[in-house]
Structure 1
Amino acid sequence: MPWTTLRLRVETPLFCGDGDPTSAQVRVSSIRGGMHFWLRAMAGVLAGKDLDALRRIENRVLGSTEAVSPIRLRIPAQPRFSTEPFPDFLPRAQSPNNKWISYLLGPGLTAWEPRDQRKGLPGATKITRAFTPPGEEFDLRIKLVGEDRDAHTVALGALWMSLVFGGIGARTRRGFGGIRITGVEGGSLLDWPENALLSPGLDFYENTKSLWPSGTASRAMPALMAIAEKAGLPKRVHDWSAPPTYPVLSKTRTVAGVSGGGTFPDWVNVLIQAGEELRHFRASEFTPQVMYSPKVKTREWLEVVHDEDRDDFALGGLGLPIVFKKDTEVHADRGEGQEAETLRRASPLWLRPVGEGDEWRLFSFAFLTEFLPEEEVGVHLWRGQGGGKRQSRELTVTTEDSHALVREWIEGITEAEGTAFVP
């Protein structure tokens, strides 16, 4: 089968590299990583808690150490990257762009640049890693190998889902690494119409209230069911009466929605408002004595960290760790005392600017999974300086906390005609 080329356009800054902060490359491995995530989510409604069957499905569709993948991917030429610390979307001047987009980027990709008094430049947050800027285009070449048409079909569905709902590189859950499929060259795949793999328009996201294999991905479901049957699974859809232990596409175990009110003129304005809304959503307690703006703190900082009798740390349901100050952090962890291992728990809330031209909205979605699926994993306050931090008292973060928070966010954002959480 010949190679087919997808033309891809970077919609929001893409942070993808091999650890070198001075260069950025879009790697096939990163795209494949996204395909694995979304394939597992697609197959979860069939595999349920049978993780061995889930692995067999994954191996057949995307290959393993013992079997060649039935889909080959190539990137013939890399898009241009930038090392500009203050690009147009994050200017040095104090502005909503700098404050709120850098808030979403987080400390792993940004750092504070002090004021340069000699040049009259204000202090501002800068980007510390190379990135592929919005507007850059590159090709992704696809070749389907072997005779397993079911595997080919499901692999294309996973690729489509990964680019339409996910993205490439770091901070995709906070709106970065967005990719649009703008063209197909070299013939159709699997006799699908050539436009079947193109990214959908804004109306597709506006009509999405939960995550299910819709649009092009719906073409993959009959093939996925055939693969699941060959993997020994019964012919039924798993109802997940309890929250899944991993992200699963489900009409009842996911929630999604777009921002209400009018559209935004571009992705930059989407993320400016998203950053400010998220800050106020997380920290809603007005605290006039602080020296920074906005003058807000989290309820958990005021009422739990500083109260030895409180352990209800609902904020952790949006992801861990949470770093309050250099000497105060909250971690998911395994074990006790000095031997405890700190763990990461990714945020269940995904934010993505969607649209084109001068009409954009914020698309938010979440997988309603168990927050801490392993019984031996707990949540603790950690105190101390640098490497001397030690596990302190136990806190409580529940699955119900996590689900309530993401539902509150999505309901608030979708119903608001203006701002939802900013006073």
Structure 2
Amino acid sequence: MAALGTSGEFMPEKITASYRIVTPMFIGDAEQKASGISPASVKGALRFWWRALNWGRVLKEAGDNEVAALKLLHAQEAVLFGGLAETDEDEKTGKKQQLGGQGAFLLRVESKNLKKYSAGTMDEHYNLKDSWQSYLLGLGLMKYDKKKNYYQRSALISGSFSVQLFCKNSAYSQELENLLLLWGLLGGLGSRQRKGLGSISITALKVGDEIRELPQNQPAVLEVLKNLIDKSATGEPPYTAFSQSSQILCSPAKAQTSWQTLAEIAEKMQMFRGWGFDAGAGHQINHKPANHAAHTKKRTDHNIVDDYAKPAVPTKQLPKSITFGLPRSYKLSNGCEFKLDVHAPSKNNEAKRSRRASPMFIHIQQFPNDETMIIQSFLPATFLAANDQVQIQQKIGNHWGVVDNITPATNWQVIREYLKTFSTWLAV
């Protein structure tokens, strides 16, 4: 409960959560440089996980009406986090209600011992030669070069920070406490956080004068996540959120660095998805034999992309693995380059492209004894809107030309096959 001040007024309740940076955090300021952790970036991350966490509840409150649930979610988010002031009419009572304005809490971030590497020094300490982690970094964070891959952005590679929330109304205290805990077990900050970069681990949680006990091992993490997450929502959420279709898997904890752990999951994912390159000794990925039978659609997907370069094959299809996220690039052995991107209509009916983030989240959890653990979360949601298409493009010179536009049907089969390869991991 909020404290009572000397004047008889209730004082804001303070919630403090402390976190450590577990994997390199490519968080950028206005110039895309890793200069620190801002309150705005933390608040943005908390908003994301709040929406994911509350979809089941608001859907139930809205009587399973998705449109009404989205409206209710927007209204509650505006009250909690703040937003542009606006007036809305309550559908049940007909009364006008004020939304937005200042949120229900104030947020402050304090950082400690942040260590930053520039793009140049990143190469020295996080070598990308034949590394599996480069697969997760992707374009934007690193540059692929025939002789040497190198980083293009700076990163915060270690340190800690605390998030202090001053709740104006103690009614929101438990909700915010749960949110800070969930973020510290599944989330992160910065670019490519869905791929395990910028992972954070919660190290302390204090509400008022009370110190909360935190999970210290794999079974305890599973128990906390089961208690926090609402998976009651049926159907496919209209945005990234927990539902009955969600899957969360936790690996055993190991005595290895977080960078080594990131390489471990990167290798598993790349070997599952990649076709490899034939260097004279069969197709290989990072000098290891590629697995062309990793999933049931892999060879079919490869043949589909291979046909893009054949004008004699007029009917184009899409690989089933596009649900891992778009855009997706392919470079064939004959030198042809193709890219799959989203082709979505805008309000004025002009075509525009926008990415579709992966429904897979990789998080590296680090315990007080420095053991590390991988948590993979699969949160399927509406992947493409009804009128969206996937555009096949081919690189010709320095430009991309359109090959075809295709309206796909979302199929999560490949991702579910990927998750089945972790049969020894524990599920939430």
Q: How far off its partner does 1:264 sit?
A: 4.9
Q: How far off its partner does 1:127 sit?
A: 2.1
Q: Report if aligned partners of 2:255, 2:371 keep a CA contact under 8 Å in 1.
A: yes
1:334 partnered with 2:362: no
Matches within 5 A, 1:14-163: 14-48=25-59, 49=66, 50-66=69-85, 67-77=101-111, 79-83=114-118, 84-88=121-125, 90-91=126-127, 94-95=129-130, 99-112=131-144, 123-134=147-158, 136-145=159-168, 147=169, 149-163=170-184
- Tell me the TM-score normalized by structure 1: 0.76
Q: Report if aligned partners of 2:316, 2:404 keep a CA contact under 8 Å in 1.
A: no
% of aligned pairs identical?
Answer: 21
**Cross-structure match for 1:345:** 356
Q: Which amino acid aligns with 2:422?
A: I
Q: How far off its partner does 1:139 sit?
A: 2.7
Q: In proportion to residue count, which structure has more helix? A: 1
Q: How far off its partner does 1:331 sit?
A: 0.9
**Distance in 2 between residues matched to 1:288 and 1:165, nearest whole Å:** 39
RMSD: 3.2
1:322 partnered with 2:314: no
Q: Which of 268, 279, 285 is residue 259 of structure 2 equivalent to? A: 268
**Distance in 1 between residues matched to 2:135 and 2:48, nearest whole Å:** 26
Q: Report if aligned partners of 2:246, 2:379 keep a CA contact under 8 Å in 1.
A: yes
Seen in structure 2, the aligned counterparts of structure 1 residues 358 and 32 have a Cα distance that, compared at 3 Å, is closer
1:313 partnered with 2:319: yes
What is the aligned length? 367
Q: How far off its partner does 1:202 sit?
A: 2.6
**Distance in 1 between residues matched to 2:70 and 2:18, nearest whole Å:** 35
Range with bigger deviation, 155-164 or 382-391: 382-391
Q: Which amino acid aligns with 2:323?
A: G
**Distance in 1 between residues matched to 2:321 and 2:216, nearest whole Å:** 34
Q: Which amino acid aligns with 1:263?
A: K
3-state SS of 1:32 partner? helix
3-state SS of 2:383 partner? coil
Q: Which of 417, 422, 426 is residue 413 of structure 1 equivalent to? A: 422
Q: Report if aligned partners of 2:19, 2:184 keep a CA contact under 8 Å in 1.
A: no
Q: Which of 354, 365, 389 is residue 377 of structure 2 equivalent to? A: 365
3-state SS of 1:124 partner? coil
Q: How far off its partner does 1:301 sit?
A: 6.1
**Distance in 2 between residues matched to 1:277 and 1:302, nearest whole Å:** 19
Residues 216-256 of structure 1 deviation map (CA, whole Å, 9 limit, x = unaligned): x47xx8xxxxxxxxxxxxxxx9642x212112223x22001
**Distance in 1 between residues matched to 2:58 and 2:13, nearest whole Å:** 33
**Cross-structure match for 2:207:** 188
Q: Report if aligned partners of 2:237, 2:380 keep a CA contact under 8 Å in 1.
A: yes
Residues 33-84 of structure 1 deviation map (CA, whole Å, 9 limit, x = unaligned): 1111111112210223121111011112212222211121112446332212
3-state SS of 1:142 partner? strand
**Distance in 2 between residues matched to 1:385 and 1:150, nearest whole Å:** 59
**Distance in 2 between residues matched to 1:125 and 1:207, nearest whole Å:** 40
Matches within 5 A, 1:294-309: 294=286, 296=290, 299=299, 302-307=302-307, 308=313, 309=315
**Cross-structure match for 1:420:** none
Q: Which amino acid aligns with 1:201?
A: N
Q: Which amino acid aligns with 1:157?
A: N
Seen in structure 2, the aligned counterparts of structure 1 residues 62 and 203 have a Cα distance that, compared at 3 Å, is same
Q: Which runs of 5+ in 2 are unaligned?
A: 1-11, 60-65, 86-100, 293-297, 308-312
**Distance in 1 between residues matched to 2:260 and 2:122, nearest whole Å:** 19
Q: Which of 227, 248, 258 is residue 241 of structure 2 equivalent to? A: 248
3-state SS of 2:303 partner? helix
Q: Which amino acid aligns with 2:116?
A: F
Matches within 5 A, 1:271-290: 271-284=262-275, 287=278
